[in-house]
Every structure is written in structure tokens, then in C-alpha cells.
């Protein structure tokens, strides 16, 4: 394994030089004031201090920069693809066993979608003029839109209904 050493050679050399210079300076100042130091104690104390400083500098981990937001904090998040698809998958999963929940969550939304497609493509409103809308719809789709479900349809049936809505 090629690991980087904790302390580089240049840092080690500078630490030794700094220790020697500091020990000599302290020894000279001690002589001027009449205080004597043992060289061994002075060297070991200064070497320990320099080694600790070098080790702390080497092991210090720079904190990662704070990420900048692409949008201001008060701006709306951009549209994320497939978020609505995941929400519809959740709704379908909730309503697999419950026909009432299916009628409230899925069938209502699909009925609105059928009404919107009829209004945009043919100028017919499903809610106000179902007689004019009936011939424009596939019989299976018409039955799905007008009759409440007795049981929740399978995913295959819902896929077929969505395909028929796209054909309007």
C-alpha cells in the first residue's frame, strides 16, 4: 500500500532545526539571567513540543467546503422527474385491496383526466354532457368512468385504462 507519511521529511528537518535553535536560544538567555538548564532536559522538552505541533498539523483534517445552493433557500425546488409517478405508484399500492379507496384516489383522478381530454380534443364536457361523450369513449373506458368499482382492478387493467385514455 502506498500511504503518505504522517510527517514529511522536510517537516522533520525543520522540526529538528527549530528545536536546536530554540534550545540554544533558551540556553543563552538562561546564562544571561544566571539560570542553567540541562541540555538533555531542554532538548527533550523542546523536541516533544515541536513533535506535538508537527503531529497536530499533519493529522488536522480540513473540513469540506460548505456546499453552495444552486437556488436561493426561499426558491421553489425544480421539478424532479418521476416524483409524481412514485406518488401514483403509492396510491395504486394503497388501493389494491380497498375498492372505496381506489374510487376516491385513482378512479376520480382518471375520470378528471378523461374529462379534460374530451374537452380539449372534442369540445365535449363529460360532467355536463355525458350523452355526447359516450360515443367518443371506448365501451370499457366508459364503463370504468361511469360505474363505481366493485373491487379494485389489477395493475394490468389500470394500464389498459390509461392506454385507452391516451387514445382519446
C-alpha–C-alpha distance, residues 160 and 168, integer Å: 13
C-alpha pair distances (Å), 68 with each of 63, 71, 72, 78, 91? 15, 9, 10, 16, 35
C-alpha–C-alpha distance, residues 36 and 38, integer Å: 7
Q: What percentage of the chain has pLDDT greater than the value 90?
A: 15
Question: Secondary structure of 95-147 in the HEC alphabet?
Answer: CCCCHHHHHHHHHHHHHHHHHHHHHHHHCCCCCCCHHHHHHHCCHHHHHHHHC
- The arithmetic mean of pLDDT across residues 95-123, rounded, is 87
pLDDT tens track for 37-81: 777 887 788 878 887 887 777 776 655 555 554 445 555 555 566
Higher pLDDT, 139 or 7: 139
**Tell me, what's the pLDDT at 120?**
92
Q: Structural domain boundaries of the chain?
A: 9-59, 85-166
- The arithmetic mean of pLDDT across residues 83-99, rounded, is 71
Backbone angles phi, psi at 34, to 5 degrees: 85, 20
**Tell me, what's the pLDDT at 80?**
61
Nearest to 28 by CA among 18, 17, 39: 39
Nearest to 140 by CA among 125, 124, 159, 161: 161
**Tell me, what's the pLDDT at 15?**
76
**Tell me, what's the pLDDT at 50?**
80
**Tell me, what's the pLDDT at 164?**
92
**Would you state the cell numbers that stand for residue 12, as one nine-digit string?**
522533520
Higher pLDDT, 154 or 12: 154
Amino acid at each position: 500500500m502506498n500511504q503518505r507519511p504522517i510527517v514529511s521529511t522536510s517537516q522533520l528537518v525543520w522540526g529538528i532545526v527549530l528545536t536546536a535553535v530554540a534550545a540554544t536560544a533558551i540556553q543563552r538567555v538562561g546564562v544571561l539571567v544566571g539560570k542553567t538548564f540541562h541540555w538533555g532536559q531542554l532538548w527533550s522538552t523542546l523536541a516533544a513540543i515541536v513533535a506535538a505541533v508537527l503531529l497536530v498539523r499533519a493529522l488536522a483534517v480540513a473540513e469540506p467546503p460548505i456546499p453552495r445552493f444552486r437556488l436561493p433557500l426561499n426558491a421553489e425546488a425544480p421539478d424532479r422527474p418521476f416524483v409524481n409517478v412514485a406518488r401514483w405508484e403509492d396510491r395504486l399500492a394503497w388501493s389494491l385491496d380497498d375498492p372505496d379507496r381506489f374510487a376516491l384516489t385513482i378512479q376520480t383522478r382518471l375520470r378528471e383526466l378523461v374529462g379534460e381530454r374530451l374537452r380539449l380534443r372534442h369540445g365535449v364536457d363529460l360532467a355536463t354532457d355525458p350523452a355526447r361523450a359516450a360515443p367518443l369513449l371506448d365501451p370499457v373506458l366508459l364503463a370504468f368512468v361511469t360505474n363505481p368499482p366493485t373491487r379494485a382492478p389489477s395493475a394490468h387493467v389500470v394500464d389498459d385504462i390509461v392506454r385507452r385514455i391516451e387514445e382519446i
